[in-house]
Amino acid sequence: MTDAGRAEWTLPDGEREAIREGLIEWYEADHREYPWRETDDPYEILVSEVMSQQTQLDRVIEAWEDFLERWPTVSDLAAADRADVVGFWSDHSLGYNNRAKYLHEAAAQVESAFDGDFPETPAALQELMGVGPYTANAVASFAFNNGDAVVDTNVKRVLYRAFGLPDEDSAFEAGAAELMPTGRSRVWNNAIMELGGVACQKTPRCDEMGCPWREWCQAYATGDFTAPDVPTQSAFEGSRRQFRGRIIRTLGEYDELEADTLGHRIRVDYTPDGEFGREWLEGLLSDLRDDGLVEFEESDGELLVRLRR
């Protein structure tokens, strides 16, 4: 889709609630378990956010647990020696030591300027040392359920593919805000980031991860999985892998299918002599046959396809 075609974006009519609930239910049914997702303590969440800025999440878990064992509360951290906090940061390979200094400074601010209680809005949280708009919003969302819709690279990729938003920051911000159900930033921001993190990755895993937005998703319907951070070539490969998967799953439901019937079942824009038509389908089927997964034969002028069992 061209950017001009994306300019007039709106959510599908009358589907807003289904889109929202679909994502929340998908997230609540299963998601990656991180210990900071089990807490609503703003201090613990701030520590996790600062640590995750430069370190892979799986590695952050141990550092986060050690940090909180050593300085369990914001007042413990505020009272700590700066050198000990910086030393901890280096020992755990957490990236720029300045982040440790800022975190220590922020803890002191909470104690001195806010009487030990974290501020609860994104704007007020940004007054803390080293806390930018993204981190402030994350703490407001996950600790106080009081944030705005998160817009990061993952979220942009999802919105661009699913609803055809143009690649413009203002469009992503408006679209993300419109989608988020009022007063549910905690679950919503977790859910949409999880969708971008495990399903709508650069190479999408729509079916494999049971993406709840497949019925509305423009990329899923057309097979065009390009996104602001996805070059055309890898999208092409992702799309090809995806349609191979769809063919296998669809054939698994039938003894055999006529090729054009199969084509219509795996993509809504299938037309036998179109760009994504018979030639395209037969290319995929030949590859799958070479891999020993399907077989097909001509019968009465029709091409019949089935799984190789």
Smallest gap, in angstroms, from Cβ of residue 206 to ligand SF4? 3
- Tell me, what DSSP letter sits at residue 230? B
In sequence order, which residues have a C-beta less than 8 Å from that of residue 200 and are 6 or more positions away? 154, 157, 158, 161, 162, 206, 211
CB of 155 to ligand SF4, least distance (A): 11
Nearer to ligand SF4, 47 or 199 (CB): 199
Asked whether the CA dihedral 85, 91, 96, 97 is positive or negative, the reply is positive
Q: How far is the CB of 222 from ligand SF4 (least distance, A)?
A: 10
Both structure tokens of 19: 């889109």
Q: Which is nearer to ligand SF4, 78 or 158 (CB)?
A: 158
Site string for ligand SF4, 147-186 (x = CB under 6 A): -----------x--xx------------------------
Closer by beta carbon to ligand SF4, 158 or else 294: 158
**Of residues 25, 44, 49, 105, which has the active-site annotation?**
49
H helices present in the chain, as ranges: 3-6, 16-29, 42-52, 57-70, 74-78, 82-91, 97-113, 122-125, 133-144, 153-163, 169-179, 185-194, 218-222, 232-251, 259-266, 278-290
Q: Which is closer to ligand SF4, CB of 211 or CB of 259?
A: 211
CB atoms within 10 A of CB 186: 18
CB 70 within 8 A of CB 60: no
| 49: annotated active-site residue | yes
Site string for ligand SF4, 221-240 (x = CB under 6 A): ----x---------------
- The interface region with ligand SF4, picked from 102-110, 169-177, 209-217, 254-262 by CB under 6 A, is 209-217
The reply on whether position 217 binds ligand SF4 by CB under 6 A is yes
Closest to 141 measured CA to CA, from 218, 224, 57, 48: 48
Rounded Cα gap, residues 309 and 306, in angstroms: 9
Nearest approach, Cβ of residue 296 and ligand SF4 (Å): 27
Q: Which of 143, 150, 219, 294 binds ligand SF4 (CB under 6 A)?
A: 219
Residue carrying structure tokens 């998908």: 26
Does 214 sit near ligand SF4 (CB under 6 A)?
yes
* Piece of 8-16, 18-26, 207-215, 264-272 that binds ligand SF4 (CB under 6 A): 207-215
Q: For residues 59 and 62, what is the distance between their CA atoms, to the nearest angstrom? A: 6
Nearer to ligand SF4, 119 or 238 (CB): 238
Applying CB under 6 A, the span of 3-11, 37-45, 56-64, 205-213 interacting with ligand SF4 comes to 205-213
Q: Which residues pair with 294 in a beta bridge?
A: 307
Is 192 a binding residue for ligand SF4 by CB under 6 A? The answer is no
| Chain-centre distance for alpha carbon 249 | 24
How far, in Å, CA of 108 to CA of 79, rounded? 8
For ligand SF4, the binding residues (CB under 6 A) are 158, 161-162, 199-200, 204, 206, 211, 213-214, 217, 219-220, 225
